[in-house]
Chains A and B, each alone.
Chain A
Amino acid sequence: MDEATLTSSLLYLDGVAVSFDGYKALRGLSLTLAPGEMRAIIGPNGAGKTTMMDVITGKTRPDEGVVFFGGNQDLTQLDEAAIAELGIGRKFQKPTVFESHTVEDNILLALKAPRSARATLFGKPAPDTAERIDRILATTKLTDHRARMAADLSHGQKQWLEIGMLLAQDPKLLLVDEPVAGMTDAETMQTAELLREIARDHSVVVVEHDMDFVRELGVKVTVLHEGAVLAEGPLDQVSAEPQVIEVYLGR
C-alpha cells in the first residue's frame, strides 16, 4: 500500500477482486481519486464498472483488496447506510426515485439530516430545510414540478431528480452510473453541464458509455477491461492507445 497516495486521496482502491460463482467480475482493480477530482470511467460491457460501484457503496464485499475513503475509512467494513453517511452518494443506471412520493419529498428524504428512526419520528426538521430544498429544485430545474408525484415525471426529469437527491445528500463523492442513458441530445448536454457544475465543489465518478458525453465532460478517463484498469489519462490520449482500440473495436 502506497502510504502517501492513500492519505492524500479521497478514494483509494487497491487490488480489489470480486468473483461470482467463479466468474471474476473484478481482478485486481486499483484506482485513486484525488479530492475534488471528476473522473469518467469507460469500458465495454462486463468490464466491472457496476461491480466497482457496488464495492465502493458497500453492496458487494470484495474477496480481496483494500478500499479506503478519505485516507482512513475502510469501506469494506461498513454497510450501505454507513457509507452513505460518510458522504458517498450513488446514482443508479436505471433511475430509481421514490415513485409514490412528491418531488419535494424525494429531496426531503435525501437531504442531509439525522437518519435514525428516532430522529425521523420525533425530531424537528432543521430550520433551513425548506430553503435547501428550494435551492436544489432550482439547480435541477424541477421547481415547477415540486408537488408532482415522482412517478409522473419524464425519464429525463427522473434522472435529474435523482441527481438532485444526490446533491441533497451533500456527499463528498458522487458515483454516477450512466446518467444520460435514454436521454435526448439536448438533455445530455444539459446533464453534462449540471455535472460539471456539481464537480466544482464535489468529487465525482461518472460511468458512461456515451463518448460524446465523456468528451463534453472533458475530464481524466479511466478505461476498465475485464475487471482491471486498462488505461488512464485524457480521453484523446487514451483513445489513441492500441490496446484500448483493440478492446473497443477489435472484437
Chain B
Amino acid sequence: MLTRRLLSLLDLRAAIAVAVLLSAAVLVPILLLATPQNFPLHMPPYVVALLGKYLCYAILAVALDLVWGYCGILSLGHGAFFALGGYAMGMYLMRQIGTRGVYANPILPDFMVFLNWKALPVTWWGFDWFPYAMLMVLLAPGVLAFAFGYLAFRSRVTGVYLSIITQAMTYALLLAFFRNDMGFGGNNGLTDFKDILGFNVQSDETRAALFSVSALALIVAILIGRYLVTSKFGKVLIAIRDAESRTRFIGYRVENYKLAVFTLSAMMAGVAGALYVPQVGIINPSEFSPAQSIEAVIWVAVGGRGTLVGAALGAVLVNFAKTWFTGALPEYWLFALGLLFILVTLFLPKGILGLIDHMKRRTAPASIDGDVQNGATAAR
C-alpha cells in the first residue's frame, strides 16, 4: 500500500531525478574514495564539496517552489530559513571544536573568549548534543516561519506586499546577526569547524558521506513535495494560487493552508542550510542578505516553477554557471545573472521544463492531447 502510494508520487520526471540522485549518492563517493588520483573520472574533494553545495541549494529551491510555484507566495526571505538551519548546525560544529580552538576553552567558542564572555549564552545551551541541534535545525526556521506566517496570512498580506515584508524580515535578521552581542559570531560568523559526529569534517570520507546525505535529503524533499502536491491539499494550494478569494468562498481556510506549506517549506530550507554548512565550512550573516534569497527565486524560475524537479535542476544549473563565471569571467557573472532574471521572466516564464514541454508538443503534433496531459500532471 505504502509502496503503491510512493510509486504514485513518481511521475516520469521525479523518477528520473530520483534515479540520478541515487546513482550520484553511490557513484560520487566511489569516484572520490576508491579511484586513484590519476584515474580520469577521479573526483577531487573540492569538486565533491561543490556538488554537495549545489544539492543543498537544490533542496532550498524545492522548498521555495512549494510556496511560490504551487501556492503563489513569492518569498524573498527564504535565505533566512536556510541560514537559520545553517547556524543551528554551525553552533553544533562550534561546540565540537572543544579545546582545539585558538584559546583552547573547553566550553566557549573562540569568538566568545575574544569578546571576554564568561559563560555560554542560553541560546547555545544543548547544542553540543547532536539530536538537539538537529531539532533546532527544524525548529528555528519553523517557528520563525510559523510566527511570521501566522501574522501575515491571517491579516491577508498577499502578493508583492508579502514579498517585500519577507525581504524586510531577512534584512532585519541580517542586521541582527552582524551584531557581536547577538552571540552568533557577528561579522565573521561561525567557522574553523573540526568534527561532525566524531568524524573530521575535512576528511574525504566525511565529504563523501555528506554528499550522499545531501543527495538523499534532496530525494526526500522531492518526495515530500510530490506527496503534498499530488494530494487534495496540493490541489487546494494551486486553487489558492489561481483564485484565492474563490477558494475562501468555497470554504477553505486559506491562511491555514498557506501557514502549513510556508512552515514546512521553511523547515526544508533549514535542513538545506544545515547540510550546507559542514560542506562549505562556514556560515556568516551574508547568507541572510536579501540578494541571496532573490537569487534562489531565479533558480526556481530557471528550472520551471511548480515542477519541484525543475526547481532543483535550476538550482544546480545556475550555481554551476556561477562557479564557472566566477572562475573564468568574474566581472561578467552579475551581468549574466541580471540578464538571466530578465530573459527568464520575459521569454521563459515556465522555465526549462516548460520549454521542454513546449518543444515536445511541437515535434509530436499527433500526440498533442497526451502530452498536454502529461505536462499538466507534471506541472502540478
* Direct touching of A and B (C-beta under 8 Å): yes
State the A residues within 8 Å of B (CB): 57, 59, 79-81, 84-85, 89-90, 92, 96-102, 105, 108-110, 115-117, 120-121, 123, 125, 147, 149, 165, 169
Contact flags B334-371 to A (C-beta < 8 A → 1, else 0): 00000000000000000000000000000000000000
Of the listed stretches B20-28, B177-185, B248-256, chain A binds B248-256
Q: A80-B245, A97-B243 are in contact. Are A121 and B251 (CB under 8 A)?
A: no
Determine whether the beta carbon of A81 is less than 8 Å from that of B252: yes
B220-250 CB contacts (< 8 Å) to partner A: 228, 231-233, 235-236, 238-239, 241-243, 245-250
Whole-angstrom distance between the alpha carbons of A118 and B238 in the complex?
16
* Contact residue among A84, A98, A120 (Cβ-Cβ distance under 8 Å from B248): A84
Task: Contact check, A110 vs B235: say whether CB atoms are below 8 A apart.
Answer: no
Bound-state Cα–Cα, A115 to B373, Å: 27
- Supplied contacts A109-B232, A117-B257, A121-B260, 10 more A-B pairs, CB within 8 Å: A84-B251, A100-B238, A100-B379, A101-B242, A110-B250, A117-B236, A117-B253, A120-B231, A120-B232, A120-B233
Distance A81 CA – B242 CA, assembled complex (angstroms): 17
Do A59 and B238 have beta carbons less than 8 Å apart? no
Is there contact, CB below 8 Å, between A117 and B235? no
- 8 Å CB contact of A115 from B238, B246, B251, B376: B251
Beta-carbon contact of A169 and B233 below 8 Å: no
- Contact partner of A101 (CB less than 8 A), chosen from B239, B249, B260, is B239
Distance from A90 Cβ to chain B, minimum over Cβ atoms (Å): 5
Q: Using known A-B contacts A81-B253, A115-B251, determine if residue A109 contacts B239 with beta carbons closer than 8 Å.
A: yes
10 A–B contacts from the bound complex (CB under 8 Å): A79-B253, A81-B253, A81-B254, A89-B250, A96-B245, A98-B239, A98-B246, A115-B252, A117-B256, A169-B251
Complex alpha-carbon distance, A59 and B108, angstroms: 55
Closest B residue, CB atoms, query A147? B373
* Most chain B C-beta atoms within 10 Å of own C-beta, residue among A90, A97, A101, A121: A121
Q: A80-B249, A115-B252, A116-B253 are in contact. Are A105 and B242 (CB under 8 A)?
A: no
Distance of A59 Cα from B241 Cα, bound (Å) = 19
The answer to whether A105 and B252 touch across the interface, beta carbons within 8 angstroms, is no
A97 to B242, CA, bound (A): 8
Docked-complex contact A98 and B238, CB < 8 angstroms: yes
The A interface, classified by DSSP as helix, strand, loop or mixed, is: mixed
Minimum Cβ distance to chain B for residue A134 (Å) = 18
Q: Which A residues are in CB contact (< 8 Å) with B228?
A: 121
CA distance A169 to B252 in the complex (A): 12
Interface residues on chain B, size class: 20 to 34
Tell me if A117 and B233 are in contact (CB < 8 A).
Answer: yes
Q: Given A120-B236, A121-B228, verify A100-B254 contact (CB < 8 Å).
A: no
Judging by beta carbons under 8 Å apart, are A90 and B249 in contact?
Answer: yes
Distance to closest chain A CB from B247 (angstroms): 8
**Contact between A165 and B250 (Cβ–Cβ < 8 Å)?**
yes
Q: What sequence of 0s and 1s flags, for each residue 271-302 of chain B, a beta carbon within 8 Å of any chain A beta carbon? A: 00000000000000000000000000000000
B232 partner residues in chain A, CB cutoff 8 A:
108-109, 120-121, 123, 125
B-chain residues with CB within 8 Å of residue A57 when the two chains form the complex: 249
Shortest CB-to-CB span from A160 to chain B, Å, is 16
Question: Bound complex: CA of A156 vs CA of B51, how far in Å?
Answer: 52
Give the chain B neighbours of A98 by CB distance below 8 A.
238-239, 242-243, 246-247
Measured CA separation A123–B249 after assembly (Å): 21
The answer to whether A169 and B256 touch across the interface, beta carbons within 8 angstroms, is no
Bound CA span A121–B228, Å: 7
Q: Given the complex of chains A and B, what is the CA–CA distance between A115 and B256 in angstroms? A: 10
Complex Cα distance, B243 from A113, in Å, reads 20
Q: Which of A97, A109, A110 has the most CB of B within 10 A?
A: A109
Q: Specify which of B241, B242, B379 lies most central, judged by the most chain A CB atoms within 10 Å of its CB.
A: B242
Are A169 and B250 interface neighbours, CB within 8 A?
yes
Question: Given A101, A117, A121, A147, which contacts B238 in the complex, CB threshold below 8 Å?
Answer: A101
Instruction: Identify which of A92, A97, A121, A125 contacts B233 (C-beta below 8 A).
Output: A121
| Cα A57 to Cα B243 with chains together (Å) | 16
Contact between A85 and B251 (Cβ–Cβ < 8 Å)?
yes
Chain B contacts for A97, CB-based, 8 A: 243, 246
Expressed in whole angstroms, the Cα–Cα distance for A92 and B247 within the complex equals 12
Chain B residue at smallest Cβ distance from A152 = B372
Residues of B close to A101: CB separation below 8 A: 235, 238-239, 242
- A81 x B251 contact (CB < 8 A): yes
**B contact residues around A123 at 8 Å (CB):** 232
Q: How far is the CB of A102 from chain B (nearest CB, A)?
A: 8
| A165 to B239 alpha-carbon distance, docked (Å) | 13
Q: Which of B232, B233, B239 has the most CB of A within 10 A?
A: B232
Docked pose: A102 CA to B363 CA in angstroms: 25
Inter-chain CA distance A100–B235, complex, in Å, is 10
The CA of A197 and the CA of B242, in the complex, are separated in Å by: 30
Cβ of A195 to closest chain B Cβ, rounded Å: 18
Which chain B residues lie closer than 8 Å to A120 at the CB level? 231-233, 235-236
Q: Considering the chains assembled together, what is the distance between the CA atoms of A145 and B257 in angstroms?
A: 29
Shortest CB–CB separation between residue A196 and chain B, in angstroms?
23
The residue on B at minimum CB distance from A106 is B239
- Minimum Cβ distance to chain B for residue A127 (Å): 15
A122–B333 alpha-carbon span in the complex (Å): 45
**What's the minimum C-beta distance from B89 to chain A, rounded to whole angstroms?**
28
Q: Which residues of B contact A90 (CB under 8 A)?
A: 249
Complex interface: chain A residues within 8 A of B256 (CB): 116-117
- Least Cβ–Cβ distance between A166 and chain B, in angstroms: 8
Q: How far is the CB of A177 from chain B (nearest CB, A)?
A: 11
Contact of B242 among A100, A121, A147 (CB under 8 A): A100
> In whole angstroms, how far apart are the Cα atoms of A121 and B232 in the complex?
6
**CB-CB nearest in chain A for B249:** A90
Residues of A close to B239: CB separation below 8 A: 98, 101, 109
